[in-house]
Amino acid sequence: MTDLDSKKRDPTKTKPLKFDRILCDVPCSGDATLRKNPDIWLKWSTGNGNNLHGIQYRVLRRGCELLEIGGRLVYSTCSFNPIENEAVVHRLLQETGDSVKLVDVSDMLPGLKFRKGMTHWRPASKDMVFYDKYEDVPEKWQTVVRPQMFPPKTEDLSKYDLEKCIRILPHHQDTGGFFVAVFEKTGLLPWEKTVEEKTEKETEVKEDKKEPPQKRRRMGGYREDPFVFFSGDDEDVFPSIKEYYDLKEDFDSKCLLTRCYVGKKKNIYLVSSIVKDVVQKNEANLKIINTGVKTFVRCDNKNMTCPFRLSQEGLQSILQYIGAVRRVNILKQDLILVLQNDNPSNPPDIKASSSTSLMTNIF
């Protein structure tokens, strides 16, 4: 989970990170919360929605860019103002063409009372004058009432299916008021196609070229230890770990990290490839306190073949990659003897078993 202005996500640094599900609960005027927030009566004006329309659209547009093809995005507000709702939806559908569509979710929540989305509305200026078309807007209001805020023409209504939006009214089921629209991404956005073609022609990733580590920005007056990912099998400690634990070839060592650039690596952590992308993309903008599960711990005993032992915390995550050479099958009663023995210099006699009914794996 991240808390970050989505405009700062730079998809050019590493492989673009896409999501199957996105919720855009955008900033809004909140005029549908009048029941619990009566102060809105004193502050409300038509300008509230007009001022928020731009940021609401940008958040929705960015959400669609981060959405995987076939994924779904929910756009929601706690406002009744169509300038914050249907106008934003209409604007996005206009600009994305056939790559995004509205989803009819009316049958997904049986019993939910709602009204369909609006197909016609009239934007208004702060002086409460309503306009049927942008050409009627006086010049002094043309920076406030924008062309994108107007509804689609009657002959174009079938293109946008705005009635698939949902309006939840407070008096229908004793709730607050909400607006909800569900989108499904069916293909690359028009501007994504251009970026993808340009990236394929100009970008070459050279795995063997290492860049000097970036200095982490101090955030909140406290410096966190860095997150240093392994660059591959050439790490100074990984070959011995791989050989000793007989790690499978499909184990991605680049998902391992330590918390220091120099000196002995004491603990090695494991993350998923998705978490790795999130950390590397947002190293300069996102304050990350901790991530990963401790998987290997340095143990410099003189008789140790490998200087790293397994950590109980990460055992469940690494278990599937450990080879048979480091798995010992013993009988259940023998395992109990081992656990009950309190004298490590005089271990009990146990014998390996090929029985599958009483076998368990230890390391």
Has 306 been annotated as catalytic? no
Instruction: Please state whether beta strands 67-77 and 19-25 pair in parallel, antiparallel, or not at all (unpaired).
Output: parallel
Query: Which two tokens mark 116?
Result: 């369909």
Residue 156 annotated as lining a ligand binding site: no
Pairing of strands 308-310, 293-298: antiparallel
5 marked among binding-site residues: yes
The three-point CA angle 351-354-360 to 5° equals 80
Which residues contact residue 124 at a Cβ distance below 8 angstroms, ignoring those fewer than 6 apart? 46, 130, 131, 145
> Which H or E run contains 183?
strand 178-185
Going by C-alpha positions, the residue among 224, 351, 347 that lies closest to residue 279 is 224
User: Which residue among the candidates 78, 165, 255, 306 is catalytic per the annotation?
Assistant: 78
Task: For residues 303 and 296, give the distance between their C-alpha atoms in angstroms, rounded to a whole number.
Answer: 17
Compute CA distances 240 → 200, 235, 247, 318, whole Å.
Answer: 37, 10, 10, 16
Indicate which residues carry an active-site annotation. 78
Binding site listing for S-adenosyl-L-methionine: 5, 25
Binding site listing: 5, 25
